[in-house]
Structure 1
Amino acid sequence: MQGISSRWLLKLLPWVQASGGAYRVNRRLTYTVGDGRVTFVNTGADIQVIPRELGELPALRGFDDEEVLSALAGRFEQREYRPGDVIVEAGQPVDRVYLVAHGKLNEIGQGEFGDETVLRVLANGSFFGHEALVDSSREWDQSLRAVTACTLLVMPAAQFREVADRSDELQAHLAEFRSRPERAQNPHGEAAIEVASGHAGEPDLPGTYVDYEGAPREYELSVAQTVLRVHSRVADLYNEPMDQVEQQLRLTIEALRERQEHELINNREFGLLHNADLSQRIHTRTGAPTPDDMDELLSMVWKDPAFFLAHPRTIAAFGRECSSRGVYPDSIETQGHRLPAWRGVPIYPCNKIPISPTRTSSILLMRTGESAQGVIGLHQTGIPDEFQPSLSVRFMGIDEKAIISYLVSAYYSAAVMVPDALGILDSVEIAQGGDRA
């Protein structure tokens, strides 16, 4: 079976028992109003703006009506753009607010000498078109074009006015902008825990509590299933020297495990590519994966990084870039294999990481383990008819054509405990020089 791969991700993830078929991740409440960038939450591939983060928009700065902000946040629509797509054209009316959830855009305008030039670059957390909230007569002076694949949240000004018309507080606020701090936060944007230290005598100690997210994420176990059908004649006669039922079951399980790893990477609900925090996604500097890019990724997951995960062609592209610079990556031995490493962190191959039609891919870096607040795999052992951990083979009976049926099921999921446990280097170009598809 040529489709069997090394499946390093399944071997390297610590697997945690998810009793009851679900695993809840309680995180400390995180938001940072006042840093000039909008923050989002993503559940799989679905992205939403944090209502309080709308306070970053100048027209809403200092406005704290949670109900109205939630109503506004619900009016934003998620849109995807491909590299090269024009998002707004110069001369069009400014009638929408755009929030950049992920990706990179160029603001194109007229340069000093009349030629087209890039005036600025917008990336994760940026916003534009916010003037539409207070002035409906403006037009775009510049165009905005996607440089990479982009995810934007868009709200028409008409939707904003509908909400404003129902809120006297918002209408009053739009007449006078004001700003005030909401509450103390630590450098990571988490609600601060008040602590006294270095004091003498008997001062009053601060009271505090750990503020958690109001709606914690629950990861439910997913399932991959198939029905193995074997004729009873095969089971009765063709079991020497090799048991044919056993061999067919073995290859069926191999296929399920391959699908399991694919889902852990690509599933839009729990896959790692879709569950990395938007602040933990960065882009390459020049396209190809360079040592500088790998160092930048390490700076995103600097607390005890466990391993990189990349497509074999991406690893080859990184090797070419290192060779062109006269840099030679480390190598380490693990489970009898010699693997490349960078700064002592191993780089494992995974052919489930997709390669786009434009020959770009991604590199993942993660910290693993429940105690380390890292990335973990989820399964449930002890299920009925268990053949392997969290995988069951259930006899379904024999039909009138003497076909024996077995239901083969694998249960699994993955969870990212805290955002900085997983970082992704996006838009990694692997087609250079004579590289072929």
Structure 2
Amino acid sequence: MTSVTILALPRSAFAELTATSETLRRHVEGFRDKTRRPQNKYGEAEIKLAAGHDGEPTLAGTYVDYELRPREYELSVAQTVLKIHTRVADLFNDPMDQVEQQLRLTVEALRERQEYELVNNREFGLLHNADLRQRIHTRSGPPTPDDLDELLAMRRSTRLFLAHPQAIAAFGRECTKRGIYPPMVEMDGHTVPSWRGVPILPSGKIPISPTHTTSILAMRTGEDDQGVIGLHQTGLPDEYQPGLNVRFMGIDEKAIMSYLVSAYYSAAVLVPDALGILDHVELSH
């Protein structure tokens, strides 16, 4: 029904490995002894039931995981060259305003590429950096309220869902079948659908497979909340926006002005449960 990952080790290879390590062999034998149930004289397994308790349990010490070799994130870069003819200065009263408008469109295109990479990049993209324990499958194919409830239950303080517009429409159809009408909420001046008070934001950058399935992401955001955070370079020369700079490259022999526009970015999931994914979301039957 759904994709899985299987790691298989032949029994002969396992036996060969345990034969070379006395420590491993003792560990395996100890595990086997713990899992064997005692048998009575009739060869039947005995099950002992106990009520109450005897003494106080010994609590093991609590330790915080410490990564000796933490992952290092390298910023990705998206670049493009904006070219404007110097005749712009002759045709318009305010040539710098025209340059500003061309630059605005160029930056928007770069930000679109940045959003795609933050979702799909193999190194740091959200779809490829979710912990396997935080990935679940839909119960019946289409995204149902039960599926989103399970996704919510896997983490605290979920700040948002991220889904393809077609996945949001499919979720709306499932809600309508059940007579449920999720409320709309306002976020950054926009009205968006929500579930359990968590906004569902649309992103056309989430891919749709050839079998017409996609994924829905749920995340906690912010460094203070140990969530998903965006990374960018600070202190860039000729910085135009955070993590983005514009450098004048000169005028060529054809009287064309060139500007190098660069955006530096990445994303990090600070703890595994900050990001969860609902996979194999069917968009239609």
TM-score range (shorter-chain normalised) is 0.7 to 0.9
User: 1:308 touches 1:348 (CA, 8 Å); kept in 2?
Assistant: yes
Report the CA distance shift for 1:297/1:161 in structure 2 as closer, same or farther (over 3 A): closer
Deviation at 1:354, TM superposition (A): 0.7
**Alignment partner of 2:252 out of 388, 394, 399:** 399
Task: State the aligned residue count.
Answer: 258
- The Cα shift of 1:231 comes to 2.1
Structure 1 distance, partners of 2:188, 2:61, is 50
The answer on whether the counterparts of 1:310 and 1:348 sit within 8 Å (CA) in structure 2 is yes
Counterpart in the other structure of 1:274: 128
* 2-structure distance, mates of 1:313, 1:333: 20
The one of 61, 73, 77 aligned to 1:219: 73
Q: In structure 2, do the counterparts of structure 1 residues 174 and 406 end up closer, same or farther at CA, with 3 Å as the change threshold?
A: same
Q: Is the 1:281–1:424 contact (alpha carbons within 8 Å) kept by the matching residues of 2?
A: yes
Partner of 1:218, secondary structure, is coil
After superposition, the Cα gap between the structure-2 partners of 1:172 and 1:353, relative to the gap in structure 1 and judged at 3 Å, is: closer
- The CA distance in 2 between the partners of 1:212 and 1:364, in whole Å, is 27
Q: Which residue of 2 aligns with 1:379?
A: 232
| Alignment CA distance shift 1:425-1:207 (3 Å) | closer
State the AA in 1 paired with 2:71.
R
- 2:21 paired with 1:169: yes
TM-score of the superposed pair, with normalisation by structure 1: 0.54
* TM-score, structure 2 normalization: 0.82
Structure 1 residue 149: deviation in Å?
3.1
Superposition RMSD on alpha carbons, in Å?
2.8
Alpha-carbon distance in structure 1 between the residues aligned to 2:71 and 2:141: 34
CA distance 1:240–1:314, shift in 2 (3 Å) = farther
Deviations 1:354-395 (CA, angstroms, capped at 9, x unpaired): 111111111111111111111111112321010111100011
**C-alpha spacing 1:152/1:247, structure 2 compared with 1 (3 Å):** farther
* Pair 1:176–1:343, CA change in 2 (3 A): closer
Computing the radius of gyration over CA atoms, which structure comes out larger, 1 or 2? 2
Residue in 1 that maps onto 2:243: 390
Three-state SS of the structure 2 residue aligned to 1:237 is helix
Partner-residue secondary structure (3-state), 1:298? helix
Which residue of structure 1 aligns with residue 40 of structure 2? none
Which residue in 2 is equivalent to 1:327?
180
**Distance in 2 separating the partners of 1:345 and 1:306:** 6
Report the counterpart of residue 179 of structure 1 in structure 2: 31
Number of the residue aligned with 1:291: 145
Counterpart contact for 1:276–1:419, Cα < 8 Å: yes
Question: How far did 1:209 drift?
Answer: 5.7
How far residue 250 of structure 1 moved from its aligned partner, in angstroms, is 1.1
1:75-90 equivalences in 2 (<5 Å): none
Moved over 6 A (4+): none
Task: Output the CA distance in 1 between the equivalents of 2:182 and 2:62.
Answer: 47
In the TM superposition, what is the alpha-carbon distance from 1:241 to its structure 2 partner? Answer: 6.2
Q: Secondary structure at the match of 2:150?
A: helix
Of all paired residues, the percent bearing the same amino acid is 67
Q: Aligned match of 1:354 in 198, 202, 207?
A: 207
What amino acid is the match of 2:283? Answer: I
Shift, 1:208, TM fit:
7.1
Distance verdict in 2 for CA 1:245–1:154, change over 3 Å: farther
1:333 Cα shift?
1.7
Q: Secondary structure at the match of 2:191?
A: strand
1:139-158 map, 5 Å: 147-153=1-7
Distance 1:208 1:347, change over 3 A: closer
Query: For residues 395 and 153 of structure 1, do their structure 2 counterparts lie closer, same or farther at Cα, with a shift above 3 Å needed?
Result: farther
Aligned equivalent of 2:57: none
Q: CA deviation at 1:232?
A: 2.2
Partner of 1:109: none
Q: 1:163 to 1:410 in 2, by over 3 A?
A: farther
2: CA distance, partners of 1:170 / 1:430:
53
1:232 aligns to 2:89 (yes or no): no
Cα deviations across residues 243-279 of structure 1 (Å, max 9, x unaligned)? 3322221111000000111111111111111111000
AA matched with 2:128: H
Q: In the alignment, which residue of structure 1 is the partner of 2:56?
A: none
2:275 aligned with 1:422, yes or no?
A: yes
Distance 1:175 1:371, change over 3 A: closer
Kindly indicate whether the alpha-carbon contact (under 8 Å) linking 1:369 and 1:376 is maintained by their aligned counterparts in 2.
yes
Contact 1:164/1:170, CA 8 A, preserved across alignment: no
Cα 1:324/1:382, change in 2 over 3 Å: same
Q: For residue 91 of structure 2, what is the amino acid of its counterpart?
A: Y
Q: Which amino acid aligns with 2:140?
A: T
Match of residue 247 from structure 1: 101
**Match in the other structure for 2:36:** none
Kept in 2: contact 1:238–1:244 (CA 8 A): no
Q: Give the superposition deviation at 1:157.
A: 7.1
